[in-house]
Amino acid sequence: MEALPYAVSVKNLCKSYPNAIALDNVSFDVKKSELFGIIGPDGAGKTSLFRILTTLLLPDSGLATLQGLDCVSDYKKIRKIIGYMPGKFSLYQDLSVEENLKFFATIFGTTIEENYDLIKDIYIQIEPFKTRPAGKLSGGMKQKLALCCAMIHKPEVLILDEPTTGVDAVSRKEFWEMLKRLNQAGITILVSTPYMDEAILCDRVALIQDGKILSTDTPQHIINTFGKILYSVKTNNIHKLMNDLNTWEHTNSAYLFGQQIHLTLVNESFNDKDIQQYLSDKGNTDIKVEQIKAGIEDTFMSLMTKQHHE
Amino acid sequence: MNKKTVITVKNLYKRFGSFVANDNLNFEVYEGEIFGFLGANGAGKTTAMKILCGLSKPSSGEINVAGFDAYKDTEKIKKSIGYMSQKFSLYEDLTIVENIRFYGGIYGMSVTDIKERTELLIQKLELTEIKDNLIKDLPIGWRQKLAFSVAIFHQPKIVFLDEPTGGVDPITRRQFWALIHEAAQDGITVFVTTHYMDEAEYCNRVSIMVDGKIAALDTPDGLMKTYNAKNMEEVFLKLARA
């Protein structure tokens, strides 16, 4: 039989709770050895999706497969070939670092030694604390231990639910470097995050909001669909600037990005000179307008508003 | 410019056994300022914030919050501040109106005061139609905006926000910051932690903690100049990785 092209395949997946629709006809595929990101805010449906894929939750309808195995009927087989790091820290708090790792190796019928190469780079960073109870570790160390435990049985697919939420910018960067290395070792990785800037670190991403996929593609292709001319506008009084842009009839969208405002116009025959003119007529000073390339966050917001208008 | 000080921290130390979580912190926060309190996980932010909120006593140092001493006036401090975090905000099994009434009540507001201001707040946030819905039925973005409004409902001098926008969608995140700016314009001092570096740029001044110490404190522009960085993310990475 020919090798299956997809590590993860999701078709028309739906899941509702009494008060909410978590997944609304979700479809996407993850190729083998891909680093695939599910990008969206809290409540978008990311965790429900991952719980279905890890066989912990049943879908209402639709199909989900992992390495060709059905997430409903083949759940026992799937559990053996995936590594799962839930969003909430789920290791045994009163077992030590080493005991946790040994426990996970044992229940998957393997040993720490057998797959040590795979986790070595990460484990040596927490090894000095191997006798410490997991509950007494710092946030960054907990996260590294959880990743080691999810990897110790050499899974074919690694599923990580918001591994970087609440993590500082430095540790986030380091975590993504670890993921890249694991991915280069051939492991398919499916990772979710609410941080838009992490999208560009994935091979492909699905943007998700209110249980619906807004777009699935490489980050660059998604950004390319932005489709409007984007300006960065700066003055010495950002609040006045925001007010003036929000009340301008030609403003299509105006969003704060740090100390700049990213602006798109309704009528694109207008240009930076017209923006300058309007703002200086309104009494703004020190006006800087330049055309810039859109980023993933610009694109996500634009897709969000389009969805609301549909 | 009016620079009335609302938080003064002098030589703050907090030790847990031999571990020094806060190592000689010195800073002031001014009235109506948006003060960003950044640092890597484990740098000592939460420890310092607990002291400023009157929930934990310093080991040594002079600390004054809203005119009260952080050793003996902790109950007065608690009454003068508001607090909100991503993890703890509103009661999910109470309605919008019940949550507002509850918070107003524990801060000792009068019944008529609560009633009048609830009406205003509901109108302002455009929640009139759903004011009797349970919090758990509200979208997360709305919840966070409401949680912030509830945290400043008793008109505190200072509001402490601990990662208030974690996991919030990018549009709501910006609406949330518009509420923060509005509160600051009304004279409420905002003390905020965040892991979003673009949000650090919305603050008037930012301090960055590294290993229990304040490694830098300045306006975002000042920090970017000092560290020759094009944004706050670069500043942060340079300091925290040093």
Establish how many alpha carbons lie within 13 A of residue A278's alpha carbon, considering only the half-sphere containing its beta carbon.
Answer: 21
Residue among B167, B170, B171 minimizing CB distance to A165: B167
Domain boundaries, chain A: 6-219, 230-293
Q: What is the pTM assigned to this prediction?
A: 0.88
On whether the CB atoms of residues B154 and B104 are closer than 8 A, the answer is yes
Tell me the chain B residues in contact with residue A139 when contact means C-beta distances shorter than 8 Å: 41-42
Across chain A, which distance is largest between two alpha carbons, in Å? 73
Q: What is the dihedral of CA B138, B140, B141, B146, to 10 degrees?
A: 60
Q: Could you tell me if B46 lies within 8 Å of chain A, comparing CB atoms? A: no
The chain A residue lying nearest B238, using CA atoms, is: A170
Whether residue B237 and residue A300 make contact (CB cut-off 8 A), yes or no, is no
Q: What is the pLDDT of residue A141?
A: 87
Identity at A146, one-letter amino acid code? A
Q: What is the DSSP string of B179-233?
A: HHHHHHHTT-EEEEE-S-HHHHTTSSEEEEEETTEEEEEE-HHHHHHHTT-SSHH
Contact (CB, 8 A) for B62 and B73: no
Identify whether the C-beta of residue A163 lies closer than 8 Å to the C-beta of residue A147: yes
Query: Candidates 3.40.50.300, 2.140.10.10, 2.40.50.140, 3.30.70.100; correct CATH number of A230-293?
Result: 3.30.70.100
Residue A26 and residue A10 in contact, taking contact as beta carbons nearer than 8 Å: yes
CB A1 within 8 A of CB A29: no
Decide the pairing of beta strands A188-193 and A35-39: parallel
CA distance A193 to chain B (A): 8
The DSSP result for A138-152, as a single string, is: -HHHHHHHHHHHHHT
pLDDT score of B2: 59
What secondary structure does DSSP assign to B33-80, as a single string?
-EEEEEE-TTSSHHHHHHHHTTSS--SEEEEEETTEETTT-HHHHHHH
CB B64 within 8 A of CB B7: yes
Q: Which two tokens stand for residue A258?
A: 């740090």
Q: Is the pLDDT of residue A3 over 70?
A: no
Of B62 and A138, more confident: B62
Compute the mean pLDDT over every residue in chain A, rounded to the nearest whole number.
93
Residues of chain B with pLDDT under 50: none
Q: Residue A237's pLDDT is what?
A: 87
pLDDT in tens, B185-213: 899 999 999 988 889 999 999 999 999 99
Residue B27: the pLDDT is 98
- The answer to whether the Cβ–Cβ distance between A42 and B221 falls below 8 Å is no
Tell me how many residue pairs between chain A and chain B have CB atoms under 8 A apart: 86
Residue A165 predicted with pLDDT over 60: yes
Q: Is B236 on the interface with A (CB under 8 A)?
A: yes
Boundaries of domain holding B30:
5-240
- Chain B contact set for A258 (CB, 8 A): 198, 201-202, 220, 231-232
Q: Which residue of A has its CA nearest to B141?
A: A42
User: Pairing mode, if any, of strands B19-30 and B205-210?
Assistant: unpaired
Residue type, A160: L
Domain A6-219 identical in fold to domain A230-293: no
Q: Which residue of B has its CA nearest to A139?
A: B41
pLDDT given at position A130: 94
For chain B, the domain total comes to 1
CB-based contact, B174 to chain A, within 8 Å: yes
User: Nearest-CA neighbor of A187 among A7, A1, A38, A46?
Assistant: A7
Q: Quick one: pLDDT band at residue A75, thresholds 50, 70, 90?
A: very high
List beta partners, residue B218.
B206
Q: Do B232 and A170 touch (CB under 8 A)?
A: no
Scan for tokens 């006593």, then name that residue: B57
Contact A43 B140 (CB under 8 A): yes
Q: CA A276, CA A250: separation in Å to the nearest integer?
A: 13
The token pair at A243 is 């007010």
Tell me the CATH architecture of domain A6-219.
3-Layer(aba) Sandwich (3.40)
- What confidence tens digit (pLDDT) does each residue in A236-279 have? 888 899 999 999 999 999 999 988 999 999 998 999 999 999 99
Q: Is the pLDDT of residue A4 over 70?
A: no
Q: Is B236 exposed, middle or buried (0-12, 13-18, 19+ CB in 10 A)?
A: buried
CATH number at residue B200: 3.40.50.300
Q: Give the pair of three-digit tokens for residue A267.
A: 């009528």
Average pLDDT over residues A197-226: 96
